Amino acid sequence: MKLNLETRPESAPWRHPETYWPALTAATLKRSAPVGVIGLEALASNAHDLLERAQGTPIRVASKSVRVRGVLDAVLALPGFRGVMAYTLAEAIWLADTGDERYEDILVGYPTADRTAIARLASDEKLAARITLMVDDIAQLVLVDAVAPPNARNELRIAVELDASYRAPLLGHIGVRRSPLHEPEAVVALATEVVRRPGFRLVGMMAYEAQIAGVVNKGHPVIRRMQASSATELAERRGRAVAGVRRLAELEFVNGGGTGSIESTRLDESVTEVAAGSGLFGPHLFDGYTRFAPAPAAAFALDVVRRPTIDIATVLGGGWIASGPAAADRLPQVVWPQGLTMLAREGAGEVQTPLLGEAARTLHVGDRVWLRHTKAGEISEHLDAFAVVEDGRVVGTLPTYRGERKTFL
């Protein structure tokens, strides 16, 4: 099906959980669990909310946080969204090879060592013009040259990544371990090497501030102070790096941020676009931010299959654990019926998940329980398709990457 997200809905049914979740149950009851649902009103609301937060700064859609091509199509049709940030080169090639003009600008957000994909990219003029590779080390350039010598390939588009982590006084490194290029001088040195080597064209830069974009801050004033300090430090350092690289090449884009940092990233004058994707599906991780509150556009339901005690109902499956450090906040969140919790000694199980609480007493074998995933696109790895629900009715289905027989990681 083809989604239309052009109009922001006036209604917000998800704000009334006592009717919203039972309506989803009724709409999908004939579908076998696990059943994934995308609420069309919630998805449209989230897309327009991202545009409002960006205040005119173009948004590059992070496909890792979606993994549903029909959703990517619909979002990229909206003015204000431009380009895709893919998570693997193989995925980028698959999207670019469709011939759809919406996939003419794809940035691979991570370095690649996929020799098969590199060879395909280097041998195809159309793909080479649509896809930009990410590098943060000369070794990555050497690998590309070894697979496809510069005198026997199309010119390849390159972006350089600056490490956006925060080196806090006393605390040291705060953020994720991505690029080794922390100082502007290191970025300029690698950019110089890209420009010097034949067969490459430097077109962009990136810096992802995970300590701002990916760390919840509601109820955590210390974290908010850290994030504010990090944003100030990064704006100055990124500005110097961009200025230095622009003296070497005419950059097409400077990408920064994520769903959780749009407000601060767009204020950085060196940034030309922001990346966002998780804010479209609104997983429960993003309930913990102060500046925005996305709607729960994506969720999944499991069936009750047994009742081991009067106050425990067990659903089949449920072990959809989010990536990151193993902790309770990586578990799916039970949202309906309200008041259900997982057992501390079992958590979310691969085959079954016991749920404890007063609400469990009212559940029967065959009833549905609704959950939200911690992270956005990872839910798509467990489903072949999403049922799209609008106004309480299933209006179509959308295959996930998995449903299209594509698994890139």
Give the pLDDT of residue 42: 97
Give the pLDDT of residue 168: 80
What is the spatial distance between Cα 189 and Cα 302, in angstroms, rounded to a whole number? Answer: 52
Give the pLDDT of residue 46: 97
The Cβ of residue 113 has, within 10 Å, a number of other Cβ atoms equal to 12
* Sequence-distant (≥ 6) Cβ neighbours of residue 246 within 8 angstroms: none
**Superfamily assignment of 41-281 in CATH?**
Alanine racemase (3.20.20.10)
Q: Which CATH class is domain 13-39+293-404?
A: mainly beta
240-286 residue pLDDT tens:
999 999 999 999 999 999 998 999 899 999 999 999 999 999 999 98
* Tokens found for residue 399: 């295959």
Residue with the two structure tokens 């019926």: 337
The helix/strand/coil state of 247 is coil
CA distance to 50, 87, 192, 296, 377, per residue, from 131 (Å): 24, 12, 21, 32, 21
Low-confidence ranges of the chain (pLDDT < 50): none
Phi and psi torsions of 231, nearest 5°:
-60, -40
Element (H, E) at 132: strand 131-135
Give the pLDDT of residue 189: 98
* Tokens found for residue 83: 């380009």
Please state the domain extents for the chain: 13-39+293-404, 41-281
CA distance to 31, 50, 346, 376, per residue, from 8 (Å): 28, 12, 41, 21
* Sequence-distant (≥ 6) Cβ neighbours of residue 312 within 8 angstroms: 343, 354, 355, 356, 360
* Sequence-distant (≥ 6) Cβ neighbours of residue 232 within 8 angstroms: none
> Is 332 within 8 Å of 374 (Cβ atoms)?
yes
* Sequence-distant (≥ 6) Cβ neighbours of residue 250 within 8 angstroms: none
The Cβ of residue 174 has, within 10 Å, a number of other Cβ atoms equal to 18
What is the spatial distance between Cα 231 and Cα 166, in angstroms, rounded to a whole number? Answer: 9
Give the pLDDT of residue 220: 84
Cα-to-chain-centroid distance, residue 63: 6
What is the spatial distance between Cα 9 and Cα 11, in angstroms, rounded to a whole number? Answer: 5
SS3 annotation, 259-307: HHHHHHHCCCCCCCEEEECHHHHCCHHHHHCCCCCCCCCEEEEEEEEEE
Find, among 345, 42, 367, 135, the residue nearest to 356 by Cα: 345
Strand partners, 84: 61, 106
* Sequence-distant (≥ 6) Cβ neighbours of residue 346 within 8 angstroms: 353, 354
Cα-to-chain-centroid distance, residue 407: 16
> Is 289 within 8 Å of 274 (Cβ atoms)?
no
Give the pLDDT of residue 6: 94
Chain-wide mean pLDDT for the chain?
A: 95
